[in-house]
Structure 1
């Protein structure tokens, strides 16, 4: 009986550490990147409020991330670099469950800039989780 309990505990511990390792396993990842704006047509009745309650303001370097990226270790406040763009971007929003391996770059109220960005493949590099 004692051996079964010890075996069970070892199994639980090994699964816990393997999940933790997976969650922090990527430093760079190729994703699809689109852009969004603080306009009701693209969001909801509160276009300046992100999913965790953060207030978005034009000029901020913020992104929304798909839920699978959150499971991989990104979280609210994580900082990433996006290939092709200067500076660091902060994860302040999350996307609908239907998306995977995707980020949405916040572009304030500049709808033209977001449309010009379009849909691109980029590499994100985690600076801080």
Structure 2
């Protein structure tokens, strides 16, 4: 009887600890933060020499959902390949570009060549949810 009780207790403690660890692991997977959001286009004057190549040498293609991030956000795991959900926009965006170091706490949503759409978007303060890249 004592062995069975001890076995049950060990099983219970192991199950609780395993559940606790998995909850902590999943909680650490996603982060939420409030940032300033603007938009940019692949046109001369808004990008470097090749407007279709982003900061980490990723080639941007029409239809991609891409953002650039200010460099201070990189320390939070918002770096090349991070997946981001943006308040007010459908789908998931991928970090593929980085902004000039003069910007802080900011993302830039890539809107291909549609300058009117980018201007209409303007500047917003909103929440993002993301999975950090280590």
Under TM normalisation by the shorter chain, which class is it? 0.7 to 0.9
Is residue 76–residue 132 contact of structure 2 (8 Å, CA) maintained in 1? no
Is residue 66–residue 94 contact of structure 1 (8 Å, CA) maintained in 2? yes
Q: How does 1:5-16 map to 2 (within 5 A)?
A: none
Q: Which runs of 4+ in 1 moved over 6 A?
A: none
Q: 1:36: how far off?
A: 0.4
**Residue 117 of structure 1 pairs with residue 117 of structure 2:** no
What is the match of residue 33 of structure 2?
A: 29
**Residue 57 of structure 1 pairs with residue 70 of structure 2:** no
1:30 to 1:110, Cα distance in 2 relative to 1, 3 A: same
Is residue 53–residue 59 contact of structure 2 (8 Å, CA) maintained in 1? yes
What root-mean-square deviation, in Å, do the aligned CA atoms of Structure 1 and Structure 2 show? 1.6
**Residue 87 of structure 1 pairs with residue 66 of structure 2:** no
3-state SS of the aligned residue for 1:100?
coil
Is residue 68–residue 110 contact of structure 2 (8 Å, CA) maintained in 1? yes
What is the match of residue 102 of structure 2?
A: 98
3-state SS of the aligned residue for 1:75?
coil
How far, CA to CA, are the matches of 1:51 and 1:69 in structure 2?
A: 15
* Greater gyration radius: 2
How far, CA to CA, are the matches of 1:60 and 1:54 in structure 2?
A: 11
How high is the TM-score relative to the length of structure 1? 0.77
What is the match of residue 50 of structure 2?
A: 46
Q: 1:99: how far off?
A: 0.8
Question: Paired residues, what number?
Answer: 106
What are structure 1's unaligned runs of at least 5 residues? 1-23
The structure where helix makes up a greater share of residues is 2
Deviations 1:65-123 (A, max 9, x none): 01111012222000010000000000000011111110000001111110100101110
